[in-house]
Amino acid sequence: MKKLLAAIALVGVVAPVWAATRTVTLAIPSMHCAMCPVTVKEALSKVPGVRKIEVSLAKKDAVVTFDDSKTTVGALTAATRNAGYPSTVER
């Protein structure tokens, strides 16, 4: 039993290291001028767990790298939507 508990404790310590960093590309067709990417980037940067954001006005998309254990794709699309830019996940 003690060994089992030790194993669980170990998993607890190690788990954060396994937290997957994921990258998604969000299509944001409503971006139309140079200010849009700035607004989108700011909105995404406020989502906890977001590590990196690259917004392209030319491609009308945002490539977001985030910590899987802290946020979800749904939270990212909600953030852009709340900022006035609905987005969908590109596959």
- Give residues in contact with Cu ion (CB under 5 A): 33, 35-36
Complex with Cu ion: residue 8 or 33, whichever CB lies closer: 33
- Complete edge-to-edge strand list for the sheet that includes strand 50-56: 50-56, 61-67, 21-27, 88-90
Least distance between Cu ion and beta carbon 21 (Å): 29
Complex with Cu ion: residue 66 or 85, whichever CB lies closer: 85
Burial class (CB in 10 A: 0-12, 13-18, 19+), 44: buried
* Helices 35-45/73-82 angle, 10° precision: 130
Complex with Cu ion: residue 13 or 34, whichever CB lies closer: 34
Least distance between Cu ion and beta carbon 32 (Å): 5
The tokens for 34 are 């140079």
